[in-house]
Amino acid sequence: MAGRRAFAALLDQDSVAVLEYQEEQGGFRLVDSRERHQRFSAPDGAADAVLELLAELKAKNASISIVLQHFGSFFHTLVLPPADRENLRQIIQREIQRSFNISDPAFAFSTGSSVERRDSARAGGQVPRQVFIVGAPMSVVDSIQNRLAKARVRVEGMTVVPEVFRRLYDTLDGSKEATAVLVCLRNGPHVAFFVNGQLELAIEPPLALEGEAPLDTSVIIDQLERGAIFLRQQARGTVATRLLLAAPAADYENLASTIEARTGMHVASLGKGIGSPESVVAMGAVIAARAEDPLDIYPRPPALEQRLQGAMTGTGLLTTTLFTAAAVAAFWASMQVMVVKRSSDDIERTQARVEQTLPALSRAKESAQGRERIAGIRAALRASTSDRTALAQLMDGVGNAPPNGAQLDSLSIARVADGLKTTLFAHAEGATGPAAMSAATSFYRHFKSVTGLKHLEFSSAYGSRSASSGVTSPPGEDLHFTVTFVAPSGER
Amino acid sequence: MASPTPAPRRVQASFNQLLGMAVSLLIVGLSVWVGVRAGTAAKDLRAKRSAWEATADQLATVQQQFRVPSATESASLIAESSRMGAIAVPAEEKLNLVDMLGRLAEACALSSVRVNAVAASDSAIVPERPIAGTQVKTAEYAIAVEFAGSFGNARKFVSSLPPSVVLTRLTAVRRDGGVFYQLILSVYELDANSGS
């Protein structure tokens, strides 16, 4: 990965080794290495030591391949008949729980070549296959994962020493000849035997006795001889004729000559150019991590296809449906909220528009009120003038009434709701009653001819006659009459 | 090949799954609640927006159609405004009005002139004079004018009355070779509380 520095690490309870490498055409180039030798009581302590060594190497963006030693890690081989991988997994899990007493293991397995130890043919031709299993307690893997994840270190793979031997053998040698591999790590000799290019047997270092050096030559020879016996028993008398050795440079020559002398095996170097045996193992971890079918016990998130399959079946389907419903509902709700926000913004914009208009409207309102006020003043003045005119016309009408024997005695004008109520009190004298009435009606008809008068009424009464008047006074009639009407007024 | 999911992890996964379902249900519930509330609010806001837009459009139309008064019109309006005092009189102008009416009667060659302020009759009909921005009311007093003279001079007096008064009653009686008049004039008064 661009920008990432590549590392390999060996985590053991007695030491931690970290080496930096660069991938080159046809192999790897060792860049730098660091080792720390101390007792780690817990795997997270070893993981912390790895992080400290990475910090010493100033690796901020590190990618690392890990080989785990001790801490309950194990390598196991089984010969099982061909079966579905899921069935194999369950069988292997039970086997691990039974053989290693690990209730919660993290493990990985791969099937190797077929192994037929019978002479007679099997029914159905189902030849058993060798199954390689690596594993460690889940708590160990979890604690390492937690530490490395916090430091943002990417882990390419995590496996165990025998698997590293297998990959190293395939990569560096691959001979079909029965071969022993001896890697002398600081905690003791690791021995593995390959027959026909396949790992047949892997033996961890023996427990070091008090005061005994883990890499004592006699211990190493004992371990090799013990392994040779196991190999003969397990592989039909097979005897290893060569040995690949990875040992500290200071001990290599002495150890090689002793082994050749005691066992008769031809000794060749394993990864001599890489460096210390720890570095060889660490590089083996890199090769193991990059193999086509790696035995990787580091927890990986499930693949997309697996996640999709899990999401679309069983309770996963229900969860997926609920998640989808939640997402749809949340999207719908957010859209509604956006509509509210948009409407609110629109209203605010419109309100701002109105507010901008208001000052101009205020001036317009003042102007309109001024105009209305002036119109009111003009109307009032017109009404007043009109009222005066109406009064003058009314008085002119009264003044212009023809006398014809009638005389106006009094006049009353009172403003009523629909005009000017006018009452004229008058009397008419005539030689006879009809003559007096004629004079009075002539007066009345004058007003009758005036337009605009309403409720015009006429009432009359003759004056009383005295007894003597009929003898001494000239004859005549006095008619008192009243004319009432409502004249229009100028104001309403 | 990776290791299978062990029992504690399966329990953890089941718990996570249940938690996820519960959270999903909660999100669905909350989202529906928020969505419904927001939908209702959006509906109200749409109605308000329509009303506001109608208002804004109307205001824009008014603003567009409003004709700003020219300088000539403004001067004319100010001049007209000064005639407000002719339409109604302030309360403190009562005596001046009484005095002015007496002199007006005499100027119309009327004799025996008497002018007095009297209480206004409740039954008197007085036309209203609505003026925008100014409250013109009928004064609580009326003015009684008495005089003698010719009908023509009385007509002249009536025609010359100022706009701030209105005739509510006129009585003319012929007596002793002359004609005596009594007029009741209602007065328009400016309300002290309104702007003039």
- Best of A335, A373, A386 to disrupt the B interface (most B CBs within 10 Å) is A373
Query: In this complex, is the C-beta atom of B158 within 8 Å of any C-beta atom belonging to chain A?
Result: yes
In this prediction, the residues of chain A whose per-residue pLDDT falls under 50 are 1-2, 468-472
Judge whether B28 lies within some domain. yes
Q: Please tell me the predicted confidence (pLDDT) of residue A107.
A: 93
Q: Please tell me the predicted confidence (pLDDT) of residue B2.
A: 47
pLDDT (tens digit per residue) in B143-171: 999 999 998 899 999 999 998 999 999 99
Task: Give CA–CA dist B1/A308, Å, rounded.
Answer: 19
Domains A1-117+124-172+275-300 and A174-269 alike in fold: yes
Judge whether B12 lies within some domain. yes
Whether residue B119 is found in the same domain as residue B58: no
Judge whether B178 lies within some domain. yes
Q: If residue B179 lies in a helix (H) or strand (E), which one and from where to where?
A: strand B178-190
Whether residue B51 is found in the same domain as residue B91: no
What are the distances in angstroms from CA A207 to CA A137, A167, A190, A351, B182? 21, 26, 12, 88, 147
Find, in chain B, the residue whose alpha carbon is nearest to that of A133: B1
**pLDDT higher for B8 or B55?**
B55
Whether residue B97 is found in the same domain as residue B135: yes
Contacts (Cβ under 8 Å, ≥6 apart) of A409: A425, A426, A427, B173, B174
Do B63 and A360 make contact, defined as CB atoms within 8 angstroms?
Answer: yes
Which one, of A486, A487, A484, lies nearest residue A460 by Cα? Answer: A484
| Helices and strands (H and E) in chain A: how many | 11, 17
User: How many domains, in total, are found in chain B?
Assistant: 2
pLDDT (tens digit per residue) in A346-361: 899 988 888 888 887 8
Q: If residue B116 lies in a helix (H) or strand (E), which one and from where to where?
A: strand B111-119
pTM above 0.80, yes or no: no
Q: Please tell me the predicted confidence (pLDDT) of residue A327.
A: 92
Give A1-117+124-172+275-300's CATH code, choosing from 3.40.30.10, 3.30.420.380, 1.10.10.10, 2.40.50.60.
3.30.420.380
Q: Where are the domains of chain A?
A: 1-117+124-172+275-300, 174-269, 305-331, 397-487
If you average pLDDT over every residue of chain B, what do you get?
A: 85
To the nearest whole Å, the CA of A374 is away from the closest chain B CA by 6
Q: Please tell me the predicted confidence (pLDDT) of residue A329.
A: 92
Whether residue B93 is found in the same domain as residue B165: yes
pLDDT (tens digit per residue) in A191-217: 999 988 888 888 888 766 666 666 778
Q: Please tell me the predicted confidence (pLDDT) of residue B119.
A: 92
Give A174-269's CATH code, choosing from 3.40.50.300, 3.30.420.40, 3.30.1360.40, 3.40.50.720.
3.30.420.40
Chain B (103-122) residues lying within 8 Å, Cβ to Cβ, of chain A: none
Whether residue B1 is found in the same domain as residue B51: yes
DSSP letter assigned to residue B70: P
Name the CATH topology of A397-487: Alpha-Beta Plaits (3.30.70)
Q: Please tell me the predicted confidence (pLDDT) of residue A316.
A: 77
Range of the domain at B25: 1-66
Judge whether B58 lies within some domain. yes
Do A380 and B24 make contact, defined as CB atoms within 8 angstroms?
Answer: no
If you average pLDDT over every residue of chain A, what do you get?
A: 85
Q: Please tell me the predicted confidence (pLDDT) of residue B112.
A: 92
Whether residue B34 is found in the same domain as residue B97: no
Strands A62-68 and A5-11: parallel
Whether residue B35 is found in the same domain as residue B99: no
DSSP letter assigned to residue A177: S
